[in-house]
Amino acid sequence: MQDYVELKGMILKSEPIGDYDRRIVILTDSRGKISAFARGARKPNSRFVAGTNPFVFAEFKLYEGKNSYSLNDVQVVNYFDELRTDYEAAYYGMYMLEIADYYTRENNDEKEMLKLLYQSLRALMHPGIDNRLIRVIYEIKSTVINGEFPGPRDNAAYKDATLYAIDHIVGSDTSKLYTFTVKPEILAQLEEIASDTCRQTMNYPFKSLEILNTLT
């Protein structure tokens, strides 16, 4: 009898394998980041066509083999379809997927990164929140969750509102991160802090970031 596991998670990457299959990378709630093969997912009539794309948040039923997982069923909770029709938001989202992929590992407890990713993608679909602010919050909170946030530079003259926003990002539960807005001058300082943080911690050539920077 085959052993199945049921995991909730989000697809970070999807790539073609062979003529009809896909390999997907899923950030899960209980097994960290895993890879799975979706047999026949690229066939036009496959039940996996829509459920094996990046951004899909779903309940996955997987066969656990000796060295890999195979997809048996997927029950989609959220496709994040809005990101497929908003070019700029889509690239913000892809950048977030790349950071999640960079930081997470198999069999690690990655619940906080999964929650952060989910809430951040939801925020991208909210017209009242500046995408630049969402990016800043996501970058900083990712480093906080992974124990790498260095904090603002001591010798920089940041405004009190900027430091208050940093404290909120660092100390707040993920569900309360996207509950504020800031003035343009504060956002500029937050972007400076986030840029310094990414340079010190990740310093990785994310593919989507180059395109995102041309858009913004």
163-209 pLDDT, tens digit each: 999 999 999 999 999 999 999 999 999 999 999 999 999 989 999 99
Q: Residue 2: pLDDT band by 50, 70, 90 thresholds? A: low
Segment among 36-40, 64-68, 168-172, 197-201 with least mean pLDDT: 64-68
pLDDT average, residue stretch 142-163: 95
Separation in Å, CA 75 to CA 7, 9, 52, 58: 11, 11, 11, 5
Q: What is the pLDDT of residue 175?
A: 94
> What letter does residue 54 receive in the DSSP assignment?
T
pLDDT of residue 182: 97
Rg (CA), the chain: 18
Confidence of residue 46 (pLDDT cuts 50, 70, 90): very high
For the domain spanning 4-78, the CATH number is 2.40.50.140
Give the C-alpha separation, 156 to 192, whole Å. Answer: 10
Model pLDDT for residues 70-122, shown as the tens digit of each residue: 999 999 999 999 998 899 999 999 999 999 999 999 999 999 999 999 999 99
Check residue 13 and give its pLDDT.
97
- As a whole number, the mean pLDDT across the chain is 95
Map out the domains of the chain as residue ranges. Answer: 4-78, 82-215
Query: Going by C-beta distance under 8 Å and a sequence separation of 6 or more, which residues neighbour residue 12?
Result: 25, 26, 27, 33, 54, 97, 98, 100, 101
> What confidence tier does 26 reach under pLDDT thresholds 50, 70, 90?
very high
Pick the CATH number of 82-215 from 3.90.1570, 1.10.20, 3.10.400, 1.20.1440: 1.20.1440
- The more confidently predicted of residues 177 and 156 is 177
The pLDDT of residue 22 is 97
pLDDT of residue 154: 87
Tell me the average pLDDT across 136-145: 98
pLDDT of residue 63: 94
Q: State residue 213's pLDDT score.
A: 85
Burial environment of residue 20 by CB neighbours within 10 A (0 to 12, 13 to 18, 19 or more): middle
pLDDT of residue 169: 98
Residue 1 in this model has a pLDDT that exceeds 80: no
Q: Residue 57: which residues within 8 A CB-CB, separation 6 or more?
A: 8, 9, 10, 76, 77, 78, 80, 118
- For 105, the token pair is 């590992």
